[in-house]
Structure 1
Amino acid sequence: MTDHATPNLPSRDFDATARFYAALGFTESWRDPDWMILRRGGLQLEFFLLAELDPATSSFACCLRLDDLDGFYAACRAAGIPEASTGWPRLHPPRLEDWGGTVGYLVDPDCTLLRLVQNSG
């Protein structure tokens, strides 16, 4: 197995989180009362239950490094996630950053920031 890391993210409600990410192509591969794992191709997101999370004060974040950023972003738009500068969930369109990479942003219903980074090469 290749070394890898999986983000551990908060969820106020596993059912709501699973529905949100299912619209983006993720499927549930594990759940117990305190932990849930969602997968989409080579992506894996792990969620812990944090019912008392206040999304307005959340500082959770991770990067999704994607071979097809445009395709994933299109799936987010097709799921009805709006491009907006405030509120959640929301999207920020991919753009070329000063360091040379292309990055978009997804903020989920628990206000976790997912940086959508196009893999290079």
Structure 2
Amino acid sequence: MTQPLFLCHPRCSTCAKARAWMGEHGIDHTERDIRIDNPTVAELTLWHTVSGLPIRRFFNTSGRLYRSMGLKDKLPSMSDEEAIALLATDGMLVKRPLLVIPDGAGDPVTVLVGFRQNEWEAALL
């Protein structure tokens, strides 16, 4: 199996918890700093589709950038395409950690947004 892709922010405490959890369970992964290597529109579009989640779940709603841009009020009137284009502009807008679990061919089959231990256990163990 191809390794999961773990998108995180190095100073994020939730990302640290998720990283530690994966370490405790021997889950190898590829790590990507979401600030330096922000997800692209194509990646976000695919991950959004695979996840089946509403696009709002991909936003870091507790982040300073989200609040300063007034996205709480703007997001409901945006199309998914507009929201994805906005997410692709800055990794700090994206909820983290984000874990993309591929199949044997490397295509994403599961996308986990945020660290909810029970969801990660179900997907990885």
TM-score interval (norm. to shorter)? 0.3 to 0.5
The structure with higher relative contact order (CA 8 Å, sep 6+) is 2
Report the TM-score, using the length of structure 2 for normalisation.
0.32
Report the TM-score, using the length of structure 1 for normalisation.
0.32
Between Structure 1 and Structure 2, the one with more strand by share is 1
Between Structure 1 and Structure 2, the one with more helix by share is 2
